[in-house]
Amino acid sequence: MARKDNVTLFREDGTRLDGRKPDEMRPIKMEVGVLDNADGSALVEFGRTKVLAAVYGPREPVQKYIVIPDKAVLRVRYHMAPFSTSERKSPAPSRREVELSKVIREALEPVVLTDQFPRTAIDIFIEVLQADGGTRTTGLTAASLALADAGIPMRALVGGVAVGKIQGRLVLDIDEVEDNYAEADMPVGAAPDIGLITLFQINGVMTREEVMKGLDMALEAINRIVEMEKEVLKSKYMKVEV
Amino acid sequence: MSMTPFRVPVVPTLKKETFISLYRKGMRIDDRDLFTPRKIEIETGVIEKAEGSALVKLGNTKVLAGVKIEVGTPFKDTPNQGVLTVHAEFVPLASPVFEPGPPDENAIELARVIDRSLREVGAVDLESLVIREGEKVWIVWVDLYVIDHDGNLFDASMLAAMAALRTAKLPDYEEYETGEIEVLKDKSQGPLKINHTVVTVTTAKVGDYIIVDPTLDEETIADSRMVVAVDEQGRIVGLQKTGEAGYTREEIQKVFNISQGAAKVYFKSLEEALARKG
């Protein structure tokens, strides 16, 4: 945890260090079908955070014992590239990556129609290419796009964004510098079309009022993120000329 | 890689239906209402060789926490702070579903949620753990040992961690002219300095119902769980949604309402146990 004193994360006019307003997200880029081998893939960027996701399946798992008789097994790996951070990250999976793989899988379980593919596995690989805050929520957004790109039936698309509390103020989509000095970091993932919050964590100290206010900020932003996902998916499949 | 659990204990449909029909009447199979935790027993000082320890029984769930305090080097970015590290082991004697081997994703998640909830609020006063700034500090290890699993390992683990930390003694040491530090295991400088007390409240979502402190059977039939960590001032100091389903905004509000009440029960049990100890 970094020292929290003697640091100002707001400019005099109330905007953040990178010029954003408190409820403003970083510039978002989304692209689907970026990989040839994968059944579905996506590259999503939130500012300098870049995350690649690929989906393989439904397919027969290599380890034959990993099956559920009446639905597919979802397998998720969240992994950070060694060059994604300022100091090289060892490629061996860290405890953080193990936890985040679970949290992201559990954010996707409510939307993937796994009961349509019994005895199979759907594999979702998330590689963080550059980490600048919000990698789990960017990864979740990329995974949602990659699943849709793979043609896997889903109840709804999901998107994610983190809300931070810095110097007592709630801000949307915190980046790495803000996260280092934040009093709290609250990643949220949701499927707005079915009204479900599917990823929810708080690291830090907040009052209940702040949590609900931050949650509403995140949900409003996720609405916009999921609309962007729909546009990107539509534009890929509307390119066909007759 | 995280996988959908594929070897979960089977709970008969009939049992699930019985549970839910009881929830409808505000009742549970073990004679509780939906919002009350099971019977809590907290015993501290159970491991003499540890600097702090506690055995917590939450219904039939048993978790043993041991605090060991050793001399080590601080992290580069926090030269003026000691170090707190939480680890959890799901030892195979605790449940037929626990296998020997390194901690799985559930054990890692448990340890990390407990760790963050203690760390972010500054529960342990890390600044009081400096021996020589930038060089030597006390490292506080909290090891959580699940020894009998009947659901809700988060709340039992946090109670055990907190009871062990609150009763932990900081060892004394001798500093030689060479700069070497010898820990005097038999002498203590006094209690470990604690700034905040934290409990977690786990609720399970089963259909339309939110229930506090689920048993293993209830966790097995539950759609999802939410772990809310709160401190003695009622602030939220950590939160984790864990499980396969999602929550509506209204359900999250409900979880907060229910968690506030249950937190009071946990704080009361913890403070009573610590007061008895003197």
Complex ipTM: 0.95
With a cut of 70, say whether residue B124 has pLDDT above it. Answer: yes
Q: pLDDT, tens digit, for every residue of A41-56?
A: 999 999 999 999 999 9
Q: What is the pLDDT of residues B63-106, one digit of tens each?
A: 999 999 999 999 999 999 999 999 999 999 999 889 999 999 99
* Residue A193 backbone phi and psi in degrees, to 5: -70, -20
At B186 the pLDDT is: 85
Mutating which of B241, B251, B256 best tests the A interface, going by the most A Cβ atoms within 10 A? B241
Which CATH number covers residue B143? 3.30.230.70
**Is residue A32 one of the residues assigned to a domain?**
yes
Q: Does A15 fall in a domain?
A: no
Q: Which of the four pLDDT bands, split at 50, 70 and 90, describes residue B278?
A: low
Decide if B266 is inside a domain. yes
Does residue B3 lie in a domain region? Answer: no
Query: Is B6 inside any structural domain?
Result: no
Residue A17 lies in a domain: no
Angstrom distance (rounded) from CA B81 to CA A198: 36
B88 neighbourhood in chain A, CB within 8 Å: none
Taking the C-alpha atoms of residue B100 and residue A87, their distance in angstroms, rounded to an integer, is: 34
Residue A180: CATH number of its domain: 3.30.230.70
Mean pLDDT over all residues of chain A?
Answer: 95
| Inter-chain residue contact B109 with A66, CB threshold 8 Å | no
H or E stretch at B21: helix B13-24
Asked if B256 has any chain A CB less than 8 Å from its own CB, the reply is: yes
The domain of B178 spans: 23-277
Domain-located, residue B150: yes
Of B126, B127, B129, B131, the residue nearest B179 (C-alpha):
B131
In angstroms, the CA B124 to CA B114 distance is: 13
Give the chain A residue nearest B257 (alpha carbons): A208
Residues 6+ apart with CB under 8 A from A15: A21
Query: How many domains is chain B partitioned into structurally?
Result: 1
What are the tens digits of pLDDT across the range A192-234?
999 999 999 999 999 999 999 999 999 999 999 999 999 999 9
Q: How far apart are alpha carbons B216 and B202 in whole angstroms? A: 13
Helix or strand run (H / E) with residue B23: helix B13-24
Q: Read out DSSP for chain A?
A: ----SS---B-TTS-BTTS--TT-PPPEEEEE---SSSSEEEEEEETTEEEEEEEEEEE--SSTT--BTTBPEEEEEEEE-TTSSSSPPPSSPPHHHHHHHHHHHHHHTTTB-GGGSTT-EEEEEEEEEE-SS-HHHHHHHHHHHHHHHTT--BSS--EEEEEEEETTEEEES--HHHHHT-SEEEEEEEEGGGTEEEEEEEEEEE-HHHHHHHHHHHHHHHHHHHHHHHHHHHHHHT----
- Residue A242 in any domain: the answer is no
The verdict on residue B11 lying in a domain is no
Q: Which of B2, B121, B236 sits opposite A102 (nearest CB)?
A: B2
Q: Which pLDDT score, from 0 to 100, does residue B135 have?
A: 95
In whole angstroms, what is the distance from residue B196 CA to residue A214 CA?
Answer: 24
C-alpha span between B237 and B198 (Å, rounded): 8
Query: Which residue in chain A has the smallest CA separation from B102?
Result: A95
Is A219 inside a domain boundary?
yes
Is B260 inside a domain boundary? yes
Q: Which of A66, A123, A196 sits opposite B247 (nearest CB)?
A: A196
DSSP string, B73-91: PPPTT-TT--EEEEEEEE-
Residue A3 lies in a domain: no
**B130 lies in some domain:** yes
8 Å CB contact of B105 and A98: yes
Task: Quote the CA–CA distance of B220 and B243 in Å, as a whole number.
Answer: 10
CB contact under 8 A, A95 and B112: yes
Give the integer Cα–Cα distance in Å for A236 and B209: 42
A221 inside domain: yes
| Gap from B1 CA to chain A (nearest CA, Å) | 5
Domain limits for position A81:
28-237
Asked whether the beta carbons of B197 and B270 are under 8 A apart, the reply is: yes
For the segment A86-111, the average pLDDT, to the nearest whole number, is: 97
For chains A and B, CB pairs below 8 A equal 129
Are residues A105 and B2, on separate chains, in Cβ contact within 8 Å? yes
Nearest chain A Cα distance for residue B221, angstroms: 15
| Residue A12 maps to a domain | no
- Measure B107 CA to nearest chain A CA, in Å: 9
Which pLDDT score, from 0 to 100, does residue A2 have?
Answer: 47
B196 touches chain A (CB under 8 A): no
In a domain? residue B14: no
Question: Which of B6, B121, B224 lies at the smallest CB-CB distance from A205?
Answer: B121
Q: Do B236 and A99 touch (CB under 8 A)?
A: no
Total structural domains within chain A: 1
